[in-house]
Chains A and B, each alone.
Chain A
């Protein structure tokens, strides 16, 4: 088994389409997929992100960070949320992604999440991170 993150990516068009969809309908579409993942025993966690219009972007490309409102206009793709799955293979993760609701401009990126034991255990930052995970039970 391996951990995969399914990352929702969309465009302004996607956001607009989501906003135009009645709340109950949107919840039902997402809820159905989530429920399938839960019932199949593969969902570890997941979160959806708030309206990108409420977000800010901190530009780190220069020494002095520059803060701008929202990722609008700057980027072609907006992150909308993620699922963390425990599945047998990348193919299975892909199969789950295909079940996500269809929306104009939406894409789902699939990335494997390395586990902490893949890192050198003696590295001081790995040690600190592990201690944090032990204290808090973080994934």
Chain B
């Protein structure tokens, strides 16, 4: 048993050790077990049982010399017990796969690089499987691939832990019921499934970068987890431009995090941000990923284009010195590959910067006329801002107040109300 300088093992030291090991190893352990048992749900169950056992055992005896081997061996033992129970119930004892006792070769299960890559990818695909609800995909990805506990996920999404627990249990049942095999998706589905997976990672990132509800503007741990997962994915899929596009987008957006909240926790808009606080190394990583996405020569997809827009901001010393013409072009391209009213709205903002509020207002009014963003605070907040610049103060104020009523993030709402109040 490893000795630590900070005294005898405790429940706290065990929890920290288990958490750290699990974050690093959950994907490899769960996917190796899924391959070994051929059953993803069982693999996840026994892996969680091993984690629970580690919390007790490591608190008593200290962390083992090989924590990974310990977790894998324990989980594998549980899986074998499960097989035996099941076989006994079904009275087919003779059909039992003859399971060898746990051995030092357990860790070798994790070190067949060709299989490990495919296993981890298969795990990411299954966690993001289209039979699951979007919430279930997020929870399952964070838990099995990211190695977060249900409690950590619950904290990040501001819901009670049993809710997440239930969501994951239901998700595993759905996968078992649908007979989803633990394997890479067939070639014909690969493209759609990959874009589904990227969107799960992006949802995790945006959830972490702008809270949809509550009083915290940033839940950066969640956003950084999404970045880590996107880095994992690009290491596994070095030929997929959109995987790099997503990584670039996340890195470049996260580079602005240090400047996005003031000392009092209030939101700071892009134009007012202290750009000295932007994380240059994150910008560099984002640019490198974007270069890779471009170099693959298949054109930029929706994530790559958004990353290219973020790169324009990252390169600009100020709002005024931003290459807004290029941003307008990039939004036009984005609108073609991924049409959405939000993209149109962002294009309007860029047009306002490049050519003035008048031409932007016509894009926004078109959105109002076609009723494509009703209920979102973004449309009235942009419209209010454009009207303000055009000197139509009374209308501007009404729009900003409407935006504030529609906004669910209290920090953002404060900014809108402050702006509206400034127009009296």
Contacts and interface: CB of A to CB of B under 8 A. Distances in A.
A139 B281 contact: yes
A86 B227 CA distance: 11
Interface stretch (B14-22, B40-48, B192-200): B14-22
A44 B281 contact: yes
A133 B280 contact: yes
B235 A41 contact: yes
Contacts of A121: 274, 276-277
A42 interface: yes
A117 B227 CA distance: 20
Instruction: Give the residue among A86, A88, A133 with the most B Cβ atoms within 10 A.
Output: A88
Given A1-B221, A1-B224, A139-B281, A41 B24 contact: no
Contact of A91 (B17, B231, B236, B284): B17
Given A1-B224, A88-B221, A117-B258, A40 B24 contact: yes
B192 to A, nearest CB: 24
A22 interface: no
Contacts of A138: 280-281
Contacts of B19: 89, 91
A39 B236 contact: yes
A94 B2 CA distance: 13
Nearest to A43: B231
Interface string A115-126: 111000100000
B228 interface: yes
A111 to B, nearest CB: 16
A37 to B, nearest CB: 9
A39 B277 contact: no
Given A41-B227, A41-B228, A41-B229, A92 B23 contact: yes
Contacts of A117: 258, 276-277, 279
B235 A38 contact: yes
B243 interface: no
B235 A137 contact: no
Nearest to B220: A1
B221 A40 contact: no
B283 interface: yes
Contact of B21 (A39, A95, A130): A95
Interface string A85-122: 01011011011100000000000000000011100010
B235 A39 contact: yes
A42 B280 contact: no
B230 interface: yes
B232 interface: yes
A63 interface: no
Contact of A95 (B24, B120, B225): B24
A137 B280 contact: yes
A35 B280 CA distance: 25
Nearest to B19: A91
Interface in A1-47: 1, 35, 38-42, 44
Contacts of A88: 23, 221, 224-225
B326 to A, nearest CB: 20
A35 B111 CA distance: 12
Contact of A40 (B16, B228, B279, B281): B228
B183 to A, nearest CB: 20
A134 interface: yes
Interface string B271-287: 00010110111011101
Instruction: Give the residue among B67, B224, B230 with the most A Cβ atoms within 10 A.
Output: B224
A127 B228 CA distance: 30
A115 B254 CA distance: 14
Interface string A59-103: 000000000000000000000000000101101101110000000
Contact of B231 (A35, A41, A95): A41
B24 A130 contact: no
Nearest to B17: A91
A95 B221 contact: no
Nearest to B247: A41
Given A1-B220, A41-B227, A121-B276, 6 more contacts: A41-B229, A41-B231, A42-B228, A86-B228, A89-B20, A133-B280
The 5 closest A-B pairs by CB, nearest first: A41-B231, A91-B20, A137-B284, A41-B228, A1-B224
Interface of B: 16-17, 19-21, 23-24, 67, 113, 120, 220-221, 224-225, 227-232, 235-236, 258, 274, 276-277, 279-281, 283-285, 287
25 contacts: A35-B113, A39-B236, A40-B24, A41-B227, A41-B231, A41-B232, A86-B224, A88-B23, A88-B224, A88-B225, A89-B16, A89-B20, A91-B19, A91-B20, A92-B20, A92-B24, A95-B24, A117-B276, A121-B277, A130-B276, A133-B280, A137-B287, A139-B280, A139-B281, A139-B284
